A and B are shown apart, each in its own frame.
Chain A
Amino acid sequence: MNTAIRSTDSTDSTGFVSSARPAGPLGTLVAVARYLLLDRVAYCFAPWSALLFAFAVDIAIIGLLPTDHSENHWVGGLSAIYVATFVIGLQSVTKGLAFGLTLGLSRRTYYQGTAFLAVGFAVVTGTVLTALRALESATGGWGLSMRMFQVPYILAGPWYEAWLTSAVALTLLYVYGGWWGLVHRRWGLLGLIAFAAGQTTAVLAATVAATWTHTWSDVGHFFTTLSAIGLTGLLAALTIVLAAGGFTTLRRVTI
């Protein structure tokens, strides 16, 4: 019935390149990632501007301290990029999903492509953060003994451990943000409230269980003996749980 001609790569008069759909499942996942990456403000500008601003604020605060900077000053500016990653994950659903499904994608393929991008984004961002961590170390904490990228215990080990932990934590935040976005898309504001209440209740239940079973010392022992790599493994397992939760929510989302 359809005699349409397959388009090949070409450039239209507006300078925007159009190309045929990449073949195969991996090609589709790459295409989904490329689609999301078209929002350059979210993926290229927002995380790094947030981090730069946090860095500037930390530098200003440490610079104003009336000390000789002989001791390390631990600051929390790194959290800015994790917050930004959470928001980007959220937006992958709130802004990207509707047109994503219009592009002829199933929910499953869209989610797989989004997860693919989450990992890619986390790996690249984690690499840059690891490089900044090395730079921070080499410059004596930016000349101020400031420790923004060398988080004690979590990002204090060898570079490859810090890189892996960063990448896993960033993936987790992206996927977690996406789940919040999916809950909002499916159940609205009341869903978000219930989602937050459910998580709070789960944490509360775990706390009460630890108290009633007198296992707080075991919990403390577990975390004090857990290595950074062990923690990374724990975060990776949690990421998989969150991704499964997000996908389960997405399966019946309507637009």
Chain B
Amino acid sequence: MTPTISVRGLTRRYRGHLALDDVTVDIEGATITGLLGRNGAGKTTFLRILAAQEFPSSGEVRVLGATPIENDAVLRRMVFVREDQTYPDIRVGHVLRAASWFYPNWSAEVADTLLGAFDLPACRAVKKLSRGMRSAVGIVVGLAARAEVTLFDEPYAGLDAVARQTFYDHLLADYAEHPRTILLSTHLIDEVADLLERVVMIDRGRIALDADADTVRGTATAVSGAAAAVESFAAGRLTWNRRTLGSHTSILIGSPLTESDRVWARTLHLTLTPLSLQQVVVHSTTGASTGTSTGAGAAGERTKRSPA
């Protein structure tokens, strides 16, 4: 099966800066993928190249089986909502009207519902809107377009928590009804964690993590208990962080635990707490930035196995 999005050896070099470095990733079929990473990691550049708004320095990008560059047949099946989306001097209703002329699967019903949900005034000029309301306009376009490939780049800048939840709810509801390939770049990982089926993390222009969200969630565990028992348990494993308070120690283990590991932990009276998606991403990225050794798509350090 041809991947919906296929990227091979994608590199984007700017003067004195490598925004994307040999990125290779495939995204297949209907799925919601979280594109995660720190500021300046290369997420926006990656999405702009997918949408043919930017050009790669080298590498190959194929969307829906073909290059998106100057390819109307592909582009009309994609929608890309940018954080910094600009509009001409037109009103909110005009934006939606224009979008309805170009997207073959445009849903006026979804647009109308979201307009009400975000309390957007259709007759107001876009340039008169607040930052958050302008973001909401982009979200309405992105969802109502029902494009086969939907790219959201930090679409909710300035949106309050209630409006963000509205976005998540409608995204999930419409996705369930009309499954499509959705790529959502975000910083608010915990907020979207339940939406994501897959996670692609970019760190300094490179793919740092590419896995199913459920797999990532089970990747890391906080192990706490008596210092000696914790150290014994963590010996030889990939660890990200350790904190000791008196005789009590807590260590973040960055590799999956087996069932026998859990039995052993119970025997040692250790507490195991799975890390959230955001914690996994934060720790793996922080580890990478400090240049420690990497393993299983995440960075950390491997503790020395102490004598039993």
Shortest CB distance B57–A (Å): 12
The answer, yes or no, to whether B82 is at the interface (CB within 8 Å) is yes
Q: Give the complex CA separation of A39 and B126 in angstroms.
A: 12
Interface residue from A1, A3, A38, A104 paired with B79 (Cβ < 8 Å): A104
Residues 59 to 118 of chain B near chain A (Cβ within 8 Å): 70-72, 75-82, 85-90, 93-109, 111-112, 115-116
Nearest chain A residue, comparing its CB with the CB of B86: A98
Interface of A is mostly: loop
Shortest CB distance B99–A (Å): 6
The answer, yes or no, to whether A107 is at the interface (CB within 8 Å) is yes
The number of inter-chain residue pairs (CB within 8 angstroms) is 147
The answer, yes or no, to whether A73 is at the interface (CB within 8 Å) is no
- Docked-complex contact A102 and B81, CB < 8 angstroms: yes
* Chain A residues within an 8 Å CB radius of B77: 104
Shortest CB distance B207–A (Å): 23
Shortest CB distance A254–B (Å): 5
* Chain A residues within an 8 Å CB radius of B54: 254
- Docked-complex contact A99 and B100, CB < 8 angstroms: no
Q: Give the complex CA separation of A95 and B181 in angstroms.
A: 29
Shortest CB distance A40–B (Å): 9
* Chain A residues within an 8 Å CB radius of B52: 101, 106
Q: A104-B78, A106-B71 are in contact. Are A6 and B105 (CB under 8 A)?
A: yes
Interface residue from B78, B86, B106, B123 paired with A18 (Cβ < 8 Å): B106
The answer, yes or no, to whether B53 is at the interface (CB within 8 Å) is yes
Interface size on A, residues (CB 8 A): 46
- Docked-complex contact B103 and A21, CB < 8 angstroms: yes
Nearest chain B residue, comparing its CB with the CB of A14: B122
Q: Give the complex CA separation of A108 and B71 in angstroms.
A: 9
* Chain A residues within an 8 Å CB radius of B85: 98-99, 102
| Interface core residue of B90, B104, B141 (most chain A CB under 10 Å) | B90
Shortest CB distance B44–A (Å): 12
Interface residue from B53, B76, B112, B146 paired with A12 (Cβ < 8 Å): B112
- Docked-complex contact B102 and A21, CB < 8 angstroms: yes
Nearest chain B residue, comparing its CB with the CB of A91: B88
Shortest CB distance B132–A (Å): 19
* Chain A residues within an 8 Å CB radius of B81: 102
Shortest CB distance B137–A (Å): 10
- Docked-complex contact B148 and A2, CB < 8 angstroms: yes
Q: Give the complex CA separation of A24 and B51 in angstroms.
A: 22
- Docked-complex contact A38 and B97, CB < 8 angstroms: yes
Q: Chain A interface (Cβ within 8 Å of chain B)?
A: 1-7, 10, 12-22, 28, 31, 34-36, 38-39, 41-42, 91, 95-96, 98-99, 101-109, 251-252, 254-255
List 23 A-B residue pairs with CB atoms under 8 Å apart, sorted by A's residue number: A1-B148, A2-B146, A2-B148, A4-B105, A4-B146, A12-B96, A14-B123, A19-B101, A21-B104, A31-B101, A31-B102, A34-B101, A38-B88, A38-B97, A41-B89, A95-B89, A102-B81, A103-B103, A104-B72, A104-B75, A106-B52, A106-B71, A255-B53
Q: Chain B interface (Cβ within 8 Å of chain A)?
A: 29-30, 48, 51-55, 70-72, 75-82, 85-90, 93-109, 111-112, 115-116, 122-123, 141, 146-148, 178-181
Given contacts A18-B100, A105-B75, 4 further A-B contacts (CB under 8 A): A3-B179, A13-B112, A16-B93, A20-B104
